[in-house]
């Protein structure tokens, strides 16, 4: 994690916020553009979940992380508090690694 990444990301994230709030401001985005932007988080977050659970470099693999993911999904589905979801998911993976 270089300072370049930190600073470019800081500037980019800020410019996106300013673009909507100040540049577009009281006007509107074209509805199609807004609809596409609104769907990006769902696609990207699910992609990140896959990457962080089922990939190692360029390889696809199922390991102890999958156990943690199952626990996280169950916890969020059952509306367990977020802090407990994260703790339980990590613990599930840690325990799976310890016993396998």
Residues numbered 6 to 45 that lie near other proteins (CB under 8 A) are: 6-10, 12-14, 16-22, 24-29, 32, 34-45
How many positions of this chain bind other proteins (CB under 8 A)? 77
Instruction: Confirm or reject binding of residue 63 to other proteins (CB under 8 A).
Output: no
Q: Under the criterion CB under 8 A, does residue 54 sit at the interface with other proteins?
A: yes
Cα 100 to Cα 97: distance, rounded to the nearest angstrom: 5
Answer yes or no whether residue 100 interacts with other proteins by CB under 8 A. no
- Contact at 8 Å (CB) between 64 and 100? yes
Q: How far is the CB of 92 from other proteins (least distance, A)?
A: 7
Tell whether residue 99 is a contact of other proteins (CB under 8 A).
Answer: no
Q: How many CB atoms lie within 10 A of CB 19?
A: 11
Check if the beta carbon of residue 97 is closer than 8 Å to that of residue 64.
Answer: yes
* Ranges within 64-83 binding other proteins (CB under 8 A): 64-65, 68-69, 71-73, 75-77, 82-83
- Pairwise CA distance, residues 81 & 77, whole Å: 11
């Amino acid at each position: 994690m270089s300072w370049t990444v930190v600073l470019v990301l800081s500037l980019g994230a800020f410019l996106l916020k300013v673009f909507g709030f100040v540049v577009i401001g009281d006007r509107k985005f074209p509805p199609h553009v807004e609809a596409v932007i609104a769907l990006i988080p769902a696609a990207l977050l699910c992609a990140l979940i896959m990457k962080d659970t089922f990939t190692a470099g360029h390889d696809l693999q199922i390991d102890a992380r999958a156990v943690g993911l199952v626990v996280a999904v169950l916890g969020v589905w059952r509306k367990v508090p977020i802090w407990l979801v994260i703790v339980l998911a990590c613990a599930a993976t840690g325990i799976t690694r310890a016993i396998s």
